[in-house]
């Protein structure tokens, strides 16, 4: 056990991806007691769904999973504006560790490893991330509008605060993070409401309709319906 106190700002969101449920629960419980918010996924598909609906600071990713393996998944998500990645693997040879680092992981830990070692690695990775993104914000602009993803506030081009329900904000967040891309209703549901949402739930259309009414400004089209495909967020989105 580590008895050192957790700093007040040590509340990052972590995602544990492993097909072994016991390992997922062990890590989630261990890291959760240290003050972190922890999500879990059993494969790369579930990982993608979680990453699509919420910001994640660090992903602990098992290398040997059925379906898409951890190395392939790491290669996709390891980017400058993405989460830190810690790879876990029973393959601990030097060439395995080198390959893991080459695909973008910040750290590579061989299994089995102690919760204490994982905690130390997580802290080191988050310090690295904090240095890299210190100047970034969660504020974006589009067509004169301004949205703060951290405080859940939306301001119109005149600077007036626009009220949004939780559902409307969740859908708008998905559009902000995927602008100028056609999104199916199913993708919007999965990203905004989670992978277990009903893919035929018409509520997503209601949320989009309400958003359109609130985002009307000078007659500009902000959310476009693409027939038989879904919705497209039209304006260019810029990080403030």
- Give per-residue pLDDT as tens, 156-196: 988 889 988 888 888 898 899 889 989 888 878 777 665 44
- Let me know whether 169 and 109 are in one domain: no
Residue after which a domain boundary falls, among 82, 99, 132: 132
- Let me know whether 34 and 50 are in one domain: yes
- Let me know whether 167 and 127 are in one domain: no
Would you state the torsion angle of the CA atoms of residues 192, 194, 195, 199, taken in this order, to the nearest 10 degrees? Answer: -50
What integer is the mean pLDDT of 32-58?
Answer: 89
The answer to whether the beta carbons of residues 169 and 211 sit under 8 Å apart is no
- Let me know whether 114 and 207 are in one domain: no
pLDDT at 30 over 80: yes
Look over the chain and give the mean of its residue pLDDT values, rounded to a whole number: 81
Higher pLDDT, 202 or 24: 24
Number of independent structural domains in the chain:
2
Q: Provide the percentage of residues in the chain whose pLDDT is more than 90.
A: 26
In a domain, 149, yes or no: yes
- Let me know whether 72 and 92 are in one domain: yes
How many angstroms separate the first and last alpha carbons of the chain?
42
Q: What is the reported pTM? A: 0.52
- Let me know whether 174 and 84 are in one domain: no
CATH assignment at residue 194? 1.10.10.10
In a domain, 117, yes or no: yes
- Let me know whether 109 and 147 are in one domain: no
pLDDT attached to residue 11: 65
* Segments forming the whole domain that contains residue 213: 139-239
- Let me know whether 169 and 231 are in one domain: yes
In a domain, 1, yes or no: no
pLDDT at 110 over 90: no
Alpha-carbon distance of 30 to 103, in angstroms, equals 27
pLDDT attached to residue 115: 82
Express each pLDDT in 204-226 by its tens digit: 888 899 999 999 865 678 999 99
For residue 97, CA distances in Å to 19, 43, 90, 104, 118 come to: 20, 21, 11, 11, 16
If pLDDT is split at 50, 70 and 90, which confidence band does 18 have? very high
- Let me know whether 76 and 185 are in one domain: no
What integer is the mean pLDDT of 60-73?
Answer: 90
- Let me know whether 98 and 143 are in one domain: no
- Let me know whether 167 and 119 are in one domain: no
Residue after which a domain boundary falls, among 132, 159, 191: 132
pLDDT at 16 over 50: yes
- Let me know whether 92 and 179 are in one domain: no
In a domain, 2, yes or no: no
Residue after which a domain boundary falls, among 132, 162, 178: 132
What is the radius of gyration, based on Cα positions, of the chain?
Answer: 20
Higher pLDDT, 2 or 47: 47
In a domain, 163, yes or no: yes
pLDDT at 200 over 60: no
Express each pLDDT in 112-157 by its tens digit: 888 888 888 888 888 876 644 434 457 899 999 999 887 788 999 8
């Amino acid at each position: 056990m580590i008895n050192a106190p957790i700093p007040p700002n040590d509340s990052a969101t972590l995602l544990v991806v492993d097909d072994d449920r016991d390992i997922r629960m062990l890590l989630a419980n261990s890291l959760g007691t240290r003050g972190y918010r922890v999500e879990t996924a059993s494969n790369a598909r579930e990982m993608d769904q979680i990453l699509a609906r919420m910001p994640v600071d660090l992903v602990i990713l098992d290398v040997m999973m059925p379906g898409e393996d951890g190395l392939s998944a790491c290669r996709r998500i390891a980017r400058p504006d993405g989460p830190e990645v810690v790879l876990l693997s029973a393959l601990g040879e030097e060439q395995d560790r080198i390959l893991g680092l080459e695909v973008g992981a910040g750290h590579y830990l061989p299994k089995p490893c102690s919760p204490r070692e994982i905690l130390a690695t997580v802290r080191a990775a988050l310090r690295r991330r904090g240095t890299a993104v210190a100047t970034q914000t969660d504020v974006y602009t589009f067509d004169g509008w301004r949205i703060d993803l951290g405080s859940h506030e939306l301001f119109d081009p005149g600077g007036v605060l626009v009220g949004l329900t939780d559902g409307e904000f969740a859908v708008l967040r998905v559009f902000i993070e995927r602008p100028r891309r056609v999104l199916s209703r199913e993708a919007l549901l999965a990203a905004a409401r989670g992978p277990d949402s009903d893919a035929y739930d018409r509520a997503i259309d209601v949320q989009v309709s309400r958003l359109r009414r609130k985002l009307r400004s000078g007659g500009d089209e902000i959310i476009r319906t693409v027939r038989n495909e879904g919705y497209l967020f039209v304006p260019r989105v810029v990080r403030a």
